[in-house]
Amino acid sequence: MRSVLSLSTLFISLICVAGVQAQSVLQPRISVHDPVMIRQDSTYYLFATGRGISVWSSKDQQNWQREKPVFETAPAWAVQAVPSFKNHIWAPDISFHNGKYYLFYSVSAFGKNTSCIGLVTNKTLNPASPDYKWEDVGKIIQSIPGRDDWNAIDPNLQFDEAGKPWLSYGSFWGGLKLVQLRDDLTAVAEPQEWYTIASRKRSEGPNGLVNDSAIEAPFIFKKDNRYYLFASFDLCCKGPNSTYKIVVGRADKITGPYVDREGKKMVLGGGTLVLQGDKNWHGVGHNSAYTFNGTDYLVFHGYDAADGGKSKLLIQKMNWDSDGWPLLAAEQ
């Protein structure tokens, strides 16, 4: 979760920070963490970190109604894989593919890479439909301390130019990873293809990994035949002490290399600043990105300075400059 600045990106960041307060931020702000969004028919559905995966619905992206969580009780496989797991599920990712909704989710022990990414599916997101039923596929990827130098959380599904599915994920440790999935999305494809797509310099502190390695929440957004990798730098989840910020790089292939505006590779710590906190928001991050009715949106959470650093939903329209880099609506 962090950022890298040059003179040009500093200028952009100053404008972007103002954008958090712009009218393009939709109201009211519900309390969520790690939000992702999708539209079915005329309804938007929001999924977020929470007990059993938090779910909200809205007709206008402004007035949100809380729905029942995806899981009433913790999946048995998750409790076995992560004994400390109590059904508080992190960082989901929602997609529609081949007539079905695919919801990837994270199960983890806090501060450790004892983690798994699971998958649950549904024919519809409308709770009133007779077809509404979540079917848990189970574990897709697992990370184990001492074996893996990566963390199996924060999944995001994207398809390449050939229609092949890829899952990006990762937090701290060795950075953000990418792996190809089977066409049915239910397992890693064989032969296995794994890539590192972004990372930061890492050093050891008295409690292990320290702040300079803080990177997580990959989200790959395809725009004009390029792949844009959004990531979050620095620290989340600390209320008034949160330093979260959003960065981006891009590539011509989904596997990278992803480079920032200055040409620095994200695997070497690169990342052009998109948005950071200010006096009103202690930090902003863990974004997702979508196109609805021809308009691109950035969906993320921020820590509200006016409400004790509570995490709130933020949505902003996203434009693009003449060089093909994302700009928030306030920069028009």
Q: What is the pLDDT of residues 160-205, one digit of tens each?
A: 999 999 999 999 999 999 999 999 999 999 999 899 999 997 666 5
Report residues of the chain scoring pLDDT below 70: 1-28, 202-212, 329-332
The reported pLDDT for the residue numbered 27 is 46
The reported pLDDT for the residue numbered 239 is 87
Q: Is residue 276 in a domain? A: yes
Catalytic residue at 216?
yes
The helix/strand/coil state of 307 is helix
Q: Is residue 2 in a domain? A: no
Q: Are strands 156-159 and 135-143 parallel, antiparallel or unpaired?
A: unpaired
Q: Is residue 1 in a domain? A: no
Q: Is residue 221 in a domain? A: yes
Are the C-beta atoms of 272 and 248 separated by less than 8 Å?
A: yes
The reported pLDDT for the residue numbered 29 is 85
The reported pLDDT for the residue numbered 23 is 34
The reported pLDDT for the residue numbered 57 is 98
Q: Is residue 290 in a domain? A: yes
Number of domain units in the chain: 1
The reported pLDDT for the residue numbered 165 is 98
Prediction pTM value: 0.89
**Beta strand segments in 86-206, E:** 88-97, 100-108, 115-122, 135-143, 156-159, 165-169, 176-180, 194-198, 204-205
The reported pLDDT for the residue numbered 11 is 35
The range of the structural domain enclosing residue 313 comes to 7-331
Q: What is the pLDDT of residues 257-290, one digit of tens each?
A: 999 999 999 999 999 999 999 999 999 999 999 9
Q: Which of 305, 314, 171 minimizes the C-alpha distance to 239? A: 305
- How far are the Cα atoms of 18, 86, 88 from residue 51, in angstroms, in the given order? 33, 8, 4
What is the rounded CA–CA span in Å between residue 292 and residue 69? 25
Q: Of residues 34, 93, 234, 260, which has the active-site annotation? A: 34
Catalytic residue at 161?
no
Are the C-beta atoms of 263 and 230 separated by less than 8 Å?
A: no
What is the rounded CA–CA span in Å between residue 31 and residue 28? 10
Q: Is residue 230 in a domain? A: yes
- What is the residue whose two structure tokens read 């004009």? 224
Q: Of residues 154, 216, 234, 304, which has the active-site annotation? A: 216
CATH number of domain containing 67: 2.115.10.20
The reported pLDDT for the residue numbered 17 is 41
